[in-house]
Every structure is written in C-alpha cells, then in structure tokens.
Amino acid sequence: MGDPHRSGMGILFLVVLIDLIGFTLVIPFLTYFVQDLASGDGFTGVGERDLWVGIVLAAYTFGQFLFTPILGALSDRLGRRPIIIIGLISNTIFFIAFGLAKSLWFAIIVRFLAGAGNGNIAVARAYIGDVSTNEQLKGRMGMIGAAFGLGFTIGPFIGGVLTDPYTNIGGFFETTWWQNHPYFLPCLFAGFLSFLSLILAINQLPESLPEEKRNHSMNKNSPIKQIISNLLGIRDLSKPVQILIMVNAIFMISFSIMNATFILFTGMPIEDGGLGFDAVTNGYIFAFVGVVGVLVQGGFMRSSIAQKIDTRLMMIVGIIVCGSGIGWIPYLDPEPFVIVLLPVAFIAVGNGLFQPTQNTLLTLETKYSSLDLGRVMGAQEGYAALARIIGPILAAFVWAETVDNTGKFGYHTVFVLSFALAIIAVISQIKLRLSIYTDEE
C-alpha cells in the first residue's frame, strides 16, 4: 500500500511553493521602495530614511506576531485547510495593495494586514506533523524547506526583473502610469501567484486533521488575552519544547537583523563602503540563496547521509555556519562577485540545516509530550514573529546610528551584532535534554 497522504503532501508543497514565490518577489525591491516612500514623505537623511525600512519590515511580522498563535489554535479546532486558505486570500489582496502604496503609512498598514492573515507556514508544519511518522518528519520538513529554497530562487529573480518595467522592459509599459508605479508589476504578479495557489488549495488540498482529533474546546478570551495566553502559555509546555522555541526565536532575531540590512548594505554606494548593487543584482543574489537552499533542504536533508547524522548536531552546525556568513558580509568588496556569493552560501547552508532540524525536534518533542501540535507550532511562530519584529527594528536603529560613523562602530556593527546573537542561540541550548534521546538511553 502506498502512503495515503503522499498526494496531500505534494499539493501542500505546490501551495507553499507558489505562495512563497509570490512572497519573495518583493525582496529585491522592497528596500528601494520604502526608501522612495520615505524620501517622498520628507525623510531625506540616510539614517532617518533607512530607519523606515526596518519599520515596514517589522509591520508584517507584527501582524504575524499578533495573529499566528490564534490561527494555529484555530487550525487545531477547524482543521489546517481553512486556515491555509485564509492566508492565501490575505496574500492575494495585500500583495497587490502594497504595490499601489504612495505613502509610508499606507505601506505599513497593508504590510501589517498581510502578516495578520498569513499563518501558512506554522499551519503547513502542523499539517506535516499530522500526516507523518517520526521517521518521515526530517525529510518532509526538509521538503517544505525545499519549497522555501525554490521560492527564494524563483521569486527574487522575477521580482528583480519585473521592477521598474517602464525603464527595464519598455513597450507596453512605456506610459506615465508605469513610470510612477515602478514597483507595482512585481506586486501584481505576486498577488496573481497567490491567487493561483488559493485555487489549487481550494480544489486539491485535502484536510490533514480528522474531526475526532480536533480540539473543540471553546476559548472565550478576547484576541488580546488570547495572544498573551499563547505567549505566556509556553510555561505549560515541556522544558525541551520551551528551549527549542527560544533557540528558534534567538536565531530569528539574528537572521532578521541581517535580512533587514543586507540590501541596505549591498545598495549603499561603493565610495561609502557598500557594494553599489541594484534590485536586479540583489535578485540574482537571492536566487543563488534559493538554489543553495534547495540543494541543502530538498537534496541533502532527504538523503540517507542526513538521516544518519544526529539531528541536534545538525541544528547547532547550522546556526554556527549561518552566523559566520552573516558576520562576513560587511567586509566584502563588490569585486570579484564570486567572493560575494561565499558568505551568502554560508547563510543559505546554515539556515537550510537549522530550519528542518529544529522543526523536526520540536515536532517529535511535542508528540512525545502529547501537546497540541497546532498550538505549539503557533506558539513557535508567534515567538518567531516577535523576533522578526525585534530584529528589523533593532537593525534599523543600529544602522541609522552607525551608518555614517567611521572606526569600529560603523555600518559593520549591525552584522557583528547579528553574529553575536547566533552564538547566543548555540549557547542557550547547551542545557537542552531531549526526551526522545533520554528514552533511547
């Protein structure tokens, strides 16, 4: 007999992949878009202008922080499929709306609403936990990681190519409207892809959580109390689950600091210490990140070699490798370009090792402790979203204060801080004693 859930996993992979292509389309130009909006709103200094990049990035994750734990809990009650569909509807609407932003406040509101409606990744991981045996988990978590990798390969490349079609494509786009909306076409395309993913989910994605396994208890808390309850509720989880969630949160602060400032650095003029790259070049870089991510998460993580390596060790190595790549970034020169790709490869490999192994351990520990998987994954994504709020805002303030400085505390500072947090993530799980390993001893 074949695996009855194999077709569901295939559809889930396609839904997540198409959705992530749309999500990552904005990466190459978002920094430039926000810089333009900030300049148009009167923020002309480099530091004060770039500060808004972190704020807009944080707006999306603030929406996730507030609503992902709630969506995770709802998926335990209603099933995974309807929550995934809600996220796809949210993406379709707000990707397109973002491309029409003409002010910072509109951009911030739209990004917040997009984050609020999208709990897809947490619910997708819970979906995998529903339909997978313990032996299948690492490979299947890696498969979702491969969707991330492919998304990061295809999305940023397309996003870079579609940016400013008036200048870069011409023809049909040589109109005043497209000249005044240089970032709308990639946003429109992202919304279209999310809509395709929505249609696919509605017609093809089966439910993974049977009715008898759903948690039907009514929660009468207000949304704010529910958020607080989900965050404080980590105290009721087992110690290994708590530590794994905290390790992920610290790693995410480190990663999101880098993510918020990477293009600020690569787009900075060469004479100021940056690399002078445009949106198209940054699209190529993130496409390379995606290729490496696919090779690691879709290839290596599903190989027999990976299955034999201790999962926790792979998680620790992933943090160290990723952190090392981040710390290397501010010391790069624009030429030769191949050298620029080396620390980027470190980041992609490290993240590719960390994400599926951490999620595998968390899922196993959750099952061992007989906890609701949707609740735990929702809590993890809630803390991760909080980390992705702290990271960009912290990065924005540090960057704004140091970008014009010389000496030890120049623009390098924010990347060194990110590296230091990666080391803290390693240290913080020294006392981690996994129940699954304890029982095997």
CB 109 within 8 A of CB 36: no
Half-sphere exposure of 322 (CA within 13 A, CB side): 34
Read off the pLDDT band of 221 (50, 70, 90). low
pLDDT surpasses 90 at 385:
no
For the chain, the residue count is 441
pLDDT of residue 26: 82
Q: Which conformational region is residue 164 in: left (phi greater than 0), alpha (psi within -120 to 50 degrees), or beta?
A: left
Question: Which of 173-182, 282-291, 300-309 is predicted least confidently?
Answer: 300-309
pLDDT surpasses 50 at 431:
yes
Domain containing 79 equals 6-204+226-435
pLDDT of residue 232: 72
Q: Is residue 67 part of a domain?
A: yes
* Global confidence as pTM: 0.74
How many C-beta atoms surround the C-beta of residue 215 within 10 A?
A: 15
User: What is the spatial distance between Cα 388 and Cα 256, in angstroms, rounded to a whole number?
Assistant: 6
| Domain total in the chain | 1
Cis peptide leading into residue 210 (ω within 30°)? no
Q: Is residue 251 part of a domain?
A: yes
User: What is the spatial distance between Cα 438 and Cα 185, in angstroms, rounded to a whole number?
Assistant: 53
Question: Which of 25-39, 182-196, 304-318, 387-401 is predicted least confidently?
Answer: 304-318
Q: Is residue 218 part of a domain?
A: no
pLDDT of residue 439: 47
pLDDT of residue 4: 46
Q: Is residue 272 part of a domain?
A: yes
Provide the CATH number for the domain around residue 101: 1.20.1250.20
pLDDT surpasses 70 at 348:
yes
pLDDT surpasses 60 at 224:
no
pLDDT surpasses 80 at 175:
yes
Q: Locate tokens 């004479």: which residue?
A: 271
Q: Is residue 220 part of a domain?
A: no
User: What is the spatial distance between Cα 409 and Cα 398, in angstroms, rounded to a whole number?
Assistant: 10
129-156 confidence digits (pLDDT tens):
787 777 777 677 777 767 776 777 788 8
Average pLDDT of the chain, as a whole number:
82
Question: Which of 50-64, 217-231, 299-313 is predicted least confidently?
Answer: 217-231
pLDDT of residue 201: 87
Cα 363 to Cα 10, 245, 358, distances in angstroms: 20, 11, 9
Mean pLDDT on 335-361: 89
Q: Is residue 324 part of a domain?
A: yes
Q: Is residue 216 part of a domain?
A: no
pLDDT surpasses 70 at 310:
yes
Q: Locate tokens 């990477």: which residue?
A: 262
Q: Is residue 270 part of a domain?
A: yes
User: What is the spatial distance between Cα 129 and Cα 137, in angstroms, rounded to a whole number?
Assistant: 7
Task: Report how far Cα 177 is from the mean position of its chain's Cα atoms.
Answer: 32
Secondary-structure breakdown of the chain: helix, strand, coil percentages, each rounded to the nearest 5: 80, 0, 20
